[in-house]
Amino acid sequence: MAAPKVLTSVAELRSFRKSTNTKVGMVPTMGALHAGHATLLRKIRPLCDLSIMTLFVNPLQFGPNEDLAKYPRTFEADLRIAQNENVDAVFAPEISQLYPPEYSTYVKENVLSQSMCGIFRPQFFGGVATQVLKLQNLVQPDLSLWGLKDAQQFLVISKMFKDLNLDTEALAIPTVRESDGLALSSRNTYLSPEERQKAPMIFQSLTRIKGELEKSSSLLPQSLLKEERQKLELSGFQVQYLDCRAVPNLEVAHSGIQPTKAYIVAIAAFLGQTRLIDNVVLHPEQWPEILY
């Protein structure tokens, strides 16, 4: 497999993009690639003629007390993974290329981004939306591929594409997990060995809730969510939210689960200093944007 072409400036990307008019697929990442990212790169390959991975730790989506400075950066290893997955080009710009000091334009989605992670990370979805719209304008992909690990992020991005009439397709792949159920994340490296052992409890709770809710459509999610939340808190997790919400608009599923709709059961919880997010999908067959 040939090494991907590495593009580090907006000018280089534009001239690369102008040299082709084939079907372009984009996989945006912040680097520190793991098997979840590799799966995205593998799955987009047969769907496009040219695959472009973007690699940029987006400062806009980090809050003032978050982990921007210590976010893992593993550029050489990332390039090897991209090469193994037959990626054509990697766009890895310097911050100054995208956000020069005079930068002043921001995108905000006002509904889906106001719940769950949006409450605890108020800058997050605006930062993501702004960055993704810039990447869309630069790369001009026909298709982009995302991970359901960040299901709320995928829904916010899809809504932005729809609201702003972008002529592009966005699909998402199921969350890639360790064998014990922990969702792969670049941030898992922050976990101590003891925390790493405990972390799969999150997926166990989500799986139990999914099982119960899919078994009986008359069951109300609220008491089940409360029970599992308490279990996790007794085991040392600081739970920010544990919600069951409908796809695609993220309404709270107060009155139970309808068989004709997809839902997510989603959580954010601190384990020590590390913030973990995860979710499971109920009735995934009702969510046409999932790519298996």
Q: What part of residues 112-171 is at the interface with ligand AMP (CB under 6 A)?
A: 146-147, 149-150
Nearer to ligand AMP, 183 or 253 (CB): 183
Q: What part of residues 40-99 is at the interface with ligand AMP (CB under 6 A)?
A: 40
Stretch that binds ligand AMP, among 12-20, 32-40, 118-126, 218-226 (CB under 6 A): 32-40
Find the residue with minimal CB distance to ligand AMP: 147
Whether the CB-CB separation of 177 and 280 falls below 8 Å is answered with: no
Nearer to ligand AMP, 173 or 242 (CB): 173
Distance CA 170, CA 153 (A): 12
Does residue number 37 form part of the binding site for ligand AMP (CB under 6 A)? yes
Considering the complex, what minimum distance in angstroms separates the CB of residue 81 from ligand AMP?
12
Nearer to ligand AMP, 60 or 173 (CB): 173
Considering the complex, what minimum distance in angstroms separates the CB of residue 222 from ligand AMP?
28
Distance CA 269, CA 199 (A): 10
Nearer to ligand AMP, 149 or 159 (CB): 149
Whether the CB-CB separation of 264 and 281 falls below 8 Å is answered with: yes
Give yes or no: 283 in active site.
Answer: no
Phi, psi of 252 (to 5 degrees): -70, 135
Does residue number 175 form part of the binding site for ligand AMP (CB under 6 A)? yes
Q: What is the DSSP string of 150-187?
A: GHHHHHHHHHHHHHTT---EEEEEPPPB-TTSPBP-GG
CB within 8 Å of 117: residues ≥ 6 apart = 124, 125, 152, 153, 268, 277
Using only the alpha carbons of the chain, give its radius of gyration.
19
Nearer to ligand AMP, 29 or 158 (CB): 29
The footprint of ligand AMP on this chain (CB under 6 A) covers a number of residues equal to 16
Name which position in 4, 7, 24, 36 contacts ligand AMP (CB under 6 A): 36
Say which residue the tokens 């409890």 belong to: 201
Q: How far out from the chain centre does Cα 68 lie?
A: 17
Residues near ligand AMP (CB under 6 A): 29-30, 36-37, 40, 146-147, 149-150, 173, 175-176, 183-186
Catalytic center residues: 37
